[in-house]
């Protein structure tokens, strides 16, 4: 096997290892993450990651309607409606209408929903800082390559 193919094989093996470790990390961090979020929930309702990201999206873009929300979280409108109904029942989200459009329903966060949104933002900031610290070991040229590599991988897996 020539050097190029050996390198491609090694890259593939490392990529598979990366995915396995990423899955283990996500399982571990998701449990911790949701446990931290649950501290802000005084409710009989549980909360999964999709619902939490729905709250985050509403918090970032409120007021937001179901169509735009579905597009932003990459979930069907039907599933988005189910999620928002659960969030409404739990008291984390409320329905609103704009003064100039009484037909369209928009979503906003309640005060409890805003606490969840803030906790979510704080945890994302910690993870972002962790990534920045990891990337400190690379120079500008290497960072440009990593950026290109990840961009290409996103395109490849679409």
Q: In the chain, what percentage of residues exceed pLDDT 90?
A: 51
Both 87 and 21 in a single domain?
A: no
CATH of residue 79's domain is 1.10.10.10
Please tell me whether residues 25 and 55 are part of one structural domain.
no
Do residues 142 and 74 share a domain? yes
Query: Number of folded domains in the chain?
Result: 2
Say yes or no: 66 and 144 in one domain.
Answer: yes
Whether residues 80 and 149 fall in one domain: yes
Reply yes or no on whether the pLDDT at 40 is more than 70: no
Using DSSP, state whether 76 is helix, strand or coil.
Answer: coil
Instruction: Tally DSSP H helices, then E strands, for the chain.
Output: 6, 3
Query: Looking at the structure, do residues 74 and 135 belong to the same domain, yes or no?
Result: yes
Tokens read off for 123: 């945890």
Q: Residues 49-104: pLDDT tens digits? A: 888 899 999 999 999 999 999 999 999 999 999 999 999 998 999 999 877 777 88
Helix (H/G/I), strand (E/B), else coil: 131: helix
Look at residue 38 and tell me whether its pLDDT is greater than 70.
Answer: no
With 70 as the cut, is the pLDDT of residue 41 above it?
no
My answer on whether 61 and 124 are in the same domain is yes
- 34 and 77 inside one domain: no
Cβ neighbors of 9 (< 8 A, separation 6 or more) are 1
How confident is the model over 133-153, as a mean pLDDT?
95
What domain range is 16 assigned to? Answer: 1-39
Once rounded to an integer, what is the mean pLDDT over residues 150-157? 89
Q: Do 24 and 69 belong to one domain? A: no
Measured distance CA(128)–CA(132) in Å, rounded: 6
Residue in the block written with tokens 């009484």: 102
In DSSP terms, 90 is beta-bridged to: none
Regarding whether 99 and 146 lie in a shared domain, the answer is yes
Nearest to 116 by CA among 69, 67, 46, 68: 46
> Are 117 and 125 spatial neighbours (Cβ–Cβ below 8 Å)?
no
Residue 133 pLDDT > 90: yes
* Backbone φ and ψ of 139, nearest 5°: -85, 175
Per-residue pLDDT, 110: 95
> 69, exposed or middle or buried, with CB in 10 Å at 0-12, 13-18, 19+?
buried
pLDDT computed for residue 43 by the predictor: 60
pLDDT in tens, 107-120: 999 998 998 899 88
Question: Among all chains, which residue has been given the structure tokens 């209408």?
Answer: 97
Shared domain for 74 and 127, answered yes or no, is yes
Note whether 11 and 65 are same-domain residues: no
Query: Does pTM top 0.85 for this prediction?
Result: no
């Amino acid at each position: 096997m020539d050097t190029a193919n050996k390198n491609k094989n090694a890259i593939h093996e490392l990529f598979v290892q990366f995915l396995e470790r990423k899955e283990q990390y996500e399982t571990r961090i998701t449990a911790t993450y949701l446990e931290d979020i649950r501290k802000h929930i005084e409710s009989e309702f549980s909360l999964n990651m999709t619902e939490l990201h729905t709250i985050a999206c509403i918090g970032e873009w409120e007021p937001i309607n179901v169509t735009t929300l579905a597009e932003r979280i990459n979930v069907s409108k039907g599933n988005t409606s189910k999620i928002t109904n659960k969030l409404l029942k739990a008291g984390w989200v409320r329905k609103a209408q704009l003064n100039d459009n009484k037909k369209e329903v928009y979503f906003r966060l309640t005060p409890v929903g805003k606490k969840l949104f803030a906790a979510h933002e704080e945890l994302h900031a910690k993870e972002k800082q962790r990534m920045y610290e990891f990337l400190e070991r690379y120079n500008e040229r290497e960072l440009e390559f990593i950026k290109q590599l990840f961009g290409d991988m996103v395109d490849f897996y679409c």
